[in-house]
Amino acid sequence: MPELPEVEVIRRGFGGLIVGKKIVKGEVLCEKSWRGEVGNVVGGRVTEVLRKGKALLIEMDYRNKSGNDDGASGNDDGASGNDGLTLMVHLRMTGQLVYVGKKRFAGGHPTEGFVHELPDKHTRVIFEFSDDSHLYFNDQRKFGFVKVLLPGESDGFLEKLAPEPENMSEKEFYERLQRRKNTSVKAAILDQSVIAGVGNIYADEGLWAARIAPMRKAGEVSEAEAGRLLKGICEAMSKSIESGGSTIANYVKADGTRGDYLLKFAKVFGRTGEKCERCGGVIEKTRVAGRGTHWCPKCTK
C-alpha cells in the first residue's frame, strides 16, 4: 500500500492535469471497484485534488451542468445542482491512476498500463473529459476503489482517521499513543486512528530517530519520547515528499518516475546488515505488528 508521501506526490502531479476539466462520461468496468452512481459524476468539473491520509479526494463543482465549457450558462450562481461532490480514490496495493491526453501521466503501482494503450484488462473505471482526455483507474487485485461522496455525505474510513503528523501536537500524539498502551509502539503508530498516514517505512524511520525500540509497549513511551518520535516521522515524510516518495518496487510518481527517498535519506528501512550511521552498530530486521521491521539494537532503547 502506498504511504502518505507517495499519495501526496501523486496528488500534486494530477492536480495540475485535471483541475478545471469537465467529466462528460463515466464508465464502470468492475462493480467491485466503484461505489456510487455514475450519473452523479457526469457534468461535474474538477475544482481541486486533495488528500486525506492515504486517500485522494477529487473535488467537483456541479454549478455548470449545461454542457457549455465556457461557464457562460448553467447554474453558475451555485443556487442549484450538486455543488461539492467528491470522488474518493483509494489505491490500496495495486491501484493506479493514468491520465491520457496531450500528456500522459501515471501514478501508483507500475504495470504496462503506464505506457500501453488503455483500457486494458486491469482497467476498472474510466472518466472522459470534455477535451477528449481520459483518466483511468486500473487495479490488478481489485483492492482499491473509487467512491462518490455526495454533498453532505460522510465516509466511515475518513471519519476514523486521526490528524496527520504535521497537524498533531506532541501532547495529542502522546495521549493517542496511550489509547494503545498495551500494544507495541510500532503497532500503535500504524493505527490510522492514532495517527494518519504513517505506514511501515516511516514508522521504522521515526522510531530510529527517536531511539525507541519498535517492540516496546506504547504505554512505556514517555511524553518527551513521543515528541521526538513525532518529529522524526514528520522529518522523514517531508524529505520523502521532496524526493518524490519512497518507492521501492510498487509506487511511482505522477510523471512515471520513481522516488529516491530510500536511496538518499532512509536510515534503517531496507538497510539490513548495514552499519548504523549514528552508532556504527548493525541494522537488523525483525517482525513487529506483523510487519517487517528495521532497527538498530545498539543505539535504540
Mean pLDDT of 289-299: 96
Task: Give the other-Cβ count within 10 Å of 154's Cβ.
Answer: 8
Which of 2, 5, 165, 214 is flagged as catalytic? 2
166 assigned to active site: no
In the numeric block, which cell numbers belong to residue 55? 486517500
pTM above 0.75, yes or no: yes
Residues 140 and 231 in one domain: no
Find the domain containing 108 and state its range: 4-160
Residues 124 and 228 in one domain: no
Three-class DSSP category at 250: coil
Q: Give the CATH number, domain containing residue 81.
A: 3.20.190.10
Task: Give the other-Cβ count within 10 Å of 201's Cβ.
Answer: 24
How much of the chain, in percent, has pLDDT values that exceed 90?
A: 63
Residues 241 and 149 in one domain: no
In a domain, 277, yes or no: yes
Task: Give the other-Cβ count within 10 Å of 269's Cβ.
Answer: 25
Residue 297 pLDDT level (bands cut at 50, 70, 90): very high
In a domain, 291, yes or no: yes
Query: Does the pLDDT of residue 140 top 60, yes or no?
Result: yes
pLDDT tens per residue, range 37-66:
999 999 999 999 999 988 999 999 865 444
Which of 22, 45, 54, 228 is flagged as catalytic? 54
In a domain, 124, yes or no: yes
Three-class DSSP category at 90: strand
Number of compact structural domains in the chain:
2
How much of the chain, in percent, has pLDDT values that exceed 70?
A: 85
Which of 35, 278, 285, 291 is flagged as catalytic? 291
Answer with the one of 110, 142, 160 that is the final residue of a domain: 160
278 assigned to active site: no
Please, which residues have CB within 8 angstroms of residue 249's CB and are 6 or more apart in sequence?
Answer: none
In a domain, 244, yes or no: yes
Answer with the one of 160, 180, 203 that is the final residue of a domain: 160
In a domain, 300, yes or no: no
Residues 186 and 138 in one domain: no
In the numeric block, which cell numbers belong to residue 5? 508521501
Answer with the one of 107, 135, 160 that is the final residue of a domain: 160
25 assigned to active site: no
In a domain, 25, yes or no: yes
Provide the mean pLDDT of the chain. Answer: 86
Range of lowest pLDDT (113-122, 147-156, 232-241, 245-254): 245-254
Query: Does the pLDDT of residue 246 top 60, yes or no?
Result: no
Residues 172 and 152 in one domain: no
Give the pLDDT confidence score for residue 300 in this predicted structure: 93
Three-class DSSP category at 172: helix
CA dist 51 and 8 (Å) reads: 7
Query: Does the pLDDT of residue 105 top 50, yes or no?
Result: yes
Q: Give the CATH number, domain containing residue 203.
A: 1.10.8.50
202 burial type by CB count under 10 A (0-12 exposed, 13-18 middle, 19+ buried) = buried
Give the pLDDT confidence score for residue 144 in this predicted structure: 95
Residues 23 and 147 in one domain: yes
Give the pLDDT confidence score for residue 49 in this predicted structure: 96
54 assigned to active site: yes
